[in-house]
């Protein structure tokens, strides 16, 4: 099958030398891309700026901002059978971009921010995607309830739920421990493991659940 994967952070520019971003390393998304290639799938990897290299064999699309990621997803999504949105997309961007480097003046500075495109949330509603849709949810409380709500609200087939209040897993670390949330309130808890091992398990579940004869 052909899979689209988003990965890494986005950068939302403030001026020519500054941006808003987050600590996402891209490791989970890149591990998923590698595992999917290993399993014989075709992969389009749409990634924000990270320090790791793209796995061999993927079709790689580099983006910087949420808007660029949205535009790239819009281009590549229609030919895909499944999409995994693992990117840590910035939820807000500065309303104004200063063309020249901002100088410090007053003691306090307020940046006005606006919402970015909700890429996962647009996949069904705006982009008309009909394939198997997987989102990630990073939560610090009520993990499963929030993930189930996100699953329904965004029309997903699976949410990979991540308890980011636990040290040593998730954001910017080598290991992860997640629960898969599926329609009908079904959940599958996966043990803590390296992102490489977890990626193989996730790709196996996604391959099986997205098979045409699977009742989901
Ligand atoms: N996501 C996205 N585009 C955005 C923000 C998030 O595609 N602008 C995707 C992420 O890649 C992830 C999922 O949405 O798969 C969950 O992101 P999160 O920010 O936790 O979701 P929200 O619904 O925005 O939830 P919250 O209310 O907790 O911010």
- List of residues 6+ apart from 188 with CB closer than 8 A: 179, 180, 182, 205
C-alpha torsion 120→118→30→180, nearest 10: -40
Measured in Å, residue 185 CA sits from the centre of ligand 1 at 20
pLDDT tens digits for 115-172?
A: 999 999 999 999 999 999 999 998 889 999 999 999 999 999 999 998 888 877 667 6
Longest CA–CA separation in the chain, Å: 63
65 in a structural domain: yes
Report the nearest-CA residue for atom 8 of ligand 1. 118
Measured in Å, residue 151 CA sits from the centre of ligand 1 at 11
Which helix (H) or strand (E) covers residue 132, if one does? strand 132-139
Report the nearest-CA residue for atom 12 of ligand 1. 136
Instruction: Tell me which residues are annotated as active site.
Output: 22
Q: Looking at the predicted structure, is the pLDDT value of residue 215 above 60? A: no
Q: What is the mean pLDDT of residues 82-98?
A: 97
The CATH number of the domain holding residue 6 is 3.40.50.10300
134 in a structural domain: yes
For residue 168, the model assigns a pLDDT of 73
State the residue range of the domain holding 79: 2-98+114-209
CA 75 to chain CA centroid, Å, is: 17
161 in a structural domain: yes
Distance CA 5, CA 44 (A): 6
**Shortest CA distance to 79 belongs to which of 133, 150, 1, 14?**
1
94 in a structural domain: yes
Tell me if 133 sits within 8 A of 124, measured CB to CB.
yes
103 in a structural domain: no
Report the nearest-CA residue for atom 9 of ligand 1. 120
């Amino acid at each position: 099958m052909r899979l689209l994967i988003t990965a890494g952070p986005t950068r939302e520019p403030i001026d020519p030398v500054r941006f808003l971003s987050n600590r996402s390393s891209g490791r989970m998304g890149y591990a998923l891309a590698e595992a999917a290639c290993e399993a014989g799938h075709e992969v389009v990897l749409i990634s924000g700026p990270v320090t790791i290299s793209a796995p061999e064999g993927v079709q790689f699309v580099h983006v910087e901002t949420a808007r660029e990621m949205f535009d790239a997803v819009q281009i590549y999504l229609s030919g895909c059978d499944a999409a995994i949105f693992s990117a840590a997309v910035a939820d807000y961007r500065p309303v104004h971009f200063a063309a020249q480097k901002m100088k410090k003046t007053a003691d306090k500075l307020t940046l006005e921010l606006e919402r970015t495109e909700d890429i996962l949330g647009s996949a069904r509603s705006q982009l008309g995607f009909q394939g198997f849709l997987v989102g990630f949810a990073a939560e610090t409380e009520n993990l499963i309830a929030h993930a189930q709500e996100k699953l329904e609200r965004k029309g997903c087939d699976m949410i990979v739920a991540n308890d980011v209040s636990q040290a040593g897993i998730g954001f910017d670390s080598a290991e992860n421990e997640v629960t898969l949330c599926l329609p009908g309130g079904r959940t599958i808890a996966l043990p803590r493991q390296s992102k490489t091992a977890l990626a193989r398990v996730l790709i196996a579940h996604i391959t099986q659940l997205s098979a045409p004869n699977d009742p989901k």
